[in-house]
């Protein structure tokens, strides 16, 4: 009986210690992982490599929100002369993101209908057809961080406020928080937050999404810092607009605490919201228009 009591006490001690430990990996839950937002694709074997000039050209596409933010995306067919391929070349879709109630995100399909025309005195003309997708998006995530309202603290504290945090795998969006460096001070903690474009496309000013294909260099690589919150603290961040260089950027947030100066380091939550627009070339194909014998 004494042996069983000893084993039971040991198991209980392990459970208590594991419950109090500080896990700094901040692994995302299953639905808010990933580096994708909205994606668009041609259906298989479309558009066809050849089409006659008197034949209507149907180009079906599939649009899917693979990230966690509900948004409205626009898709564009570009790269060709609209006098040669005449008809609608853009469409917009409201798409719900991935969530616990919608684990795959919303998927919609659409068919572009174009009328091919040949240039005068030409029996065949080859043109590219490129598929772009543009949309406003947000990265939203809550991390576990260690804060210390004082500069000095015991080495046996529950967590280390000087320990840098790094994150991989994304937070269910094409722009990700990749790391947080914490610097404790007297009554405050400074956070240097690293972000990166991880979606394979181009970040742009969210106000330029409707004209994304004409966006200038000044409109690109701009991420707006939204709300950053920590319970029991007043948080201010700078800069409010982060310009990505080689796909990476950083901003700094300072959290001021109302706790007494004798408070020890502790684990709390830090919620971060980033806002931006996104543009991506999804597919690029070639199509040849051939003169019909009847044409």
Extents of the domains making up the chain: 38-136+281-290, 138-276
For β-strands 124-147 and 248-257, DSSP reports them as unpaired
Q: Do domains 38-136+281-290 and 138-276 have the same CATH topology?
A: yes
Residue 161: pLDDT band (50, 70, 90) is confident
Per-residue confidence (pLDDT) for residue 263, from 0 to 100: 66
The mean per-residue pLDDT over the stretch 37-60 comes to 94
Is the pLDDT score of 169 beyond 60? yes
* Range of weakest confidence among 5-9, 193-197, 284-288: 5-9
**Per-residue pLDDT, 5:** 41
pLDDT score of 261 more than 50: no
Q: Which residue has the higher pLDDT, 33 or 252?
A: 252
Q: 199-230, pLDDT tens digit by residue?
A: 999 999 999 999 999 999 999 999 999 999 99
Model's pTM, two decimal places? 0.85
Residue 247: is its pLDDT beyond 80? yes
Name the pLDDT band for 7 (thresholds 50, 70, 90): very low
Q: Does domain 138-276 correspond to CATH entry 2.60.40?
A: yes
Is residue 34 within 8 A of residue 139, CB to CB? The reply is no
Name the 3-class secondary structure at 219.
helix
CB-count burial class (<10 Å; 0-12, 13-18, 19+) for 41: middle
CA distances from 38 to 63, 166, 231 (A): 7, 25, 32
Give the CATH H-level superfamily of domain 38-136+281-290.
Answer: Immunoglobulins (2.60.40.10)
């Amino acid at each position: 009986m004494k042996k069983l009591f000893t084993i039971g006490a040991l198991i209980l001690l392990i459970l208590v210690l594991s419950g109090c430990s500080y896990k700094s990996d901040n692994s995302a839950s299953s639905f808010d992982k990933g580096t994708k937002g909205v994606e668009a694709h041609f259906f298989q074997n479309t558009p066809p490599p050849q089409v006659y000039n008197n034949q209507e050209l149907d180009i079906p596409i599939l649009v899917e929100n693979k990230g966690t933010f509900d948004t409205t995306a626009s898709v564009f067919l570009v790269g060709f002369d609209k006098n040669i391929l005449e008809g609608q070349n853009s469409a917009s879709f409201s798409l719900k993101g991935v969530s616990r109630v919608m684990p795959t995100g919303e998927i919609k399909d659409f068919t572009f209908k174009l009328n091919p025309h040949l240039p005068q005195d030409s029996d065949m003309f080859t043109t590219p057809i490129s598929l772009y997708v543009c949309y406003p998006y947000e990265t939203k995530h809550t991390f576990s961080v260690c804060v210390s309202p004082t500069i000095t603290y015991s080495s046996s504290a529950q967590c280390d406020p000087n320990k840098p945090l790094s994150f991989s795998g994304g937070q269910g969006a094409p722009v990700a928080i990749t790391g947080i460096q914490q610097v404790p001070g007297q009554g405050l903690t400074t956070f240097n937050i690293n972000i990166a474009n991880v979606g394979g496309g181009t970040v742009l000013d969210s106000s330029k999404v409707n004209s994304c294909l004409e966006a200038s260099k000044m409109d690109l690589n701009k991420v707006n810092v939204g709300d950053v919150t920590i319970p029991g603290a007043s948080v201010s961040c700078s800069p409010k607009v982060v310009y990505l260089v080689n796909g990476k950027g950083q901003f700094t947030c300072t959290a001021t605490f109302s706790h007494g100066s004798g408070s020890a380091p502790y684990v709390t939550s830090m919620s971060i919201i980033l806002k931006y627009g996104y543009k991506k070339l999804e597919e690029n194909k070639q199509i040849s228009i051939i003169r019909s014998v009847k044409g």
